[in-house]
């Protein structure tokens, strides 16, 4: 009876599944790819108070360089 219980646990053990990362897309001029991988219009001018533009097109208002634009593709340019 014990052997049957061990076999049952092995058959129904959870398995890990991998998901593929979304492919990068090419956006038209004047647009950028945001973190959701959608093309959105780039702002006409830098927002007031922004200190950097990130790789995904978002802006940072960080007061220190360390960590600026982390999880946003790094710093594209300092303002």
Query: For 10-61, what is each residue's pLDDT tens digit?
Result: 555 556 565 655 566 788 888 888 888 888 877 777 888 999 999 998 999 9
Higher pLDDT, 33 or 1: 33
Tell me the DSSP string of the chain. Answer: -HHHHHHHHHHT-------PPPPP--PPTTEEE-TTS-EEEPPSSPPTT--EEETTS-EE--SSSTTTTTTTTSEEEE-
Q: What is the pLDDT of residue 46?
A: 83
pLDDT confidence of residue 4: 54
What is the predicted pLDDT for the residue at 26?
85
Q: Tell me what pLDDT residue 71 has.
A: 92
pTM exceeds cut of 0.75:
no
* Res 3 pLDDT > 80: no
């Amino acid at each position: 009876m014990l052997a049957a219980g061990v076999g049952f646990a092995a058959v129904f053990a959870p398995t890990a599944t991998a998901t593929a990362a979304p492919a990068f897309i090419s956006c038209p001029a004047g647009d950028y790819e945001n973190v959701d991988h959608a093309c959105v219009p780039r702002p006409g001018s830098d927002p007031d108070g922004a200190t950097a533009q990130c790789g995904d097109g978002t802006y940072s208002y960080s007061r220190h360089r360390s960590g600026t634009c982390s999880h946003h593709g790094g710093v594209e340019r300092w303002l």
